[in-house]
Structure 1
Amino acid sequence: MAVQAGKPCPKCGRVIDWVERRVVNGHVYIYAAHVSVVNGKKKITKCYLGPDRYTYATKTHSDMGMELKGMAYEIDSGPGSRFLDYINNLANKLSAEVESGALDLEQARQWLKAVREAAARLQSLADRLEGYVRQTEAQEAGAAALAAPRGAVNETVARAQPVEAPPVTSQAQTTQPQLTPEDIDREVKELLGTLKGELRRAQGAR
């Protein structure tokens, strides 16, 4: 994790002017400093990004295989990187316990219920995010088209484009169909259904 000046602050979004690290009782706490000018006077504000490592909190989550991280972690890794790390850590922990047979039947049932509920909630959230992304992309594309110079657009349309002859090959070319987002979603859901079926069969065989 590298918190550096010049990068966006994960807390307020402003550019970081410098990074301050305070050591208290052996723990390192990270602050992002921002300089602004208000009424002709320089003003310094600092955003607390959390400790360098969550030592105690990580110990209390060791049963889930999770190492908790502060906001500074996402400066390099990007938004959502902590969330993905937590999911992967938990999945790896549960997978190892399933493989080793460490879970008893009741524990396995409870985890199965929790994972299914989380999967449904995450799928609903993913659908909402996808709709938001498509809507925002369409709005930005429309704004860019309106902002484009009218003359440049007309010139591009009116200009004759050279016609290229198709390449001659000795064998017929195969055209691969382009998948639509709906096709991709359907294939992903079918794959998830197949994986769930395999999991149920594996559990029934035990």
Structure 2
Amino acid sequence: MGIPLWPALIKSFFMFIALFLIQLPFISMALQYARNEDIRLGKTLADAFQPMLSIYVMSFFVSFLIVTGSLLLIIPGLVLFLLFLGISYAAIIDGKTWLQGVKQSFAFGSSHFFKLLGLLFVFAVLGLITSFAVLFVLYLVTGFYLILNVSVIITNSLLFSILFFTVSFYYLDWSDGAVGTEVI
């Protein structure tokens, strides 16, 4: 049918890896804010770079699972994404990496599955609406393709950061409630 399936899957694979890594500084900033600390760039970068290798390796395998699950009518890939979304949050907030982080992420994803699904749906709809509105307004003003693309990138970056902060606070609330319970 002319649908470029394999290039789309490869692109999705690397986008999921990047998503797990991009979240790290935002989680650190949310954690500093929740602890009533001054938000410092040095601490944010140190918190982000410290677990980066383990997050990269884990996200490689998890992204492979998500993309493979997406081959099976997209729903299994979405379920796996929501279950393992908390890998970066477990590394920054709880200091759990590797297998402990995966277990912690699975526990968080399964306990907040429908909240995360709702958040993802709301932010997807907001992203579509705001991107369309920005594109429409800028297309009326200018027809330059570069300006249109940069504006969509900036708009989506702002929305993603709000999503990362929101999920960070969900994770912090859940993590505080889960203190003293061991994740198997």
TM-score, shorter chain, exceeding 0.5: no
Relative to its length, the structure with more strand (as a share) is 1
Larger Rg: 1
Q: TM-score under structure 2 normalisation?
A: 0.26
If each structure's helix is expressed as a fraction of its own residues, which one has the higher value? 2
TM-score (norm: length of structure 1) = 0.24
Higher RCO (CA < 8 A, seq sep 6+): 2
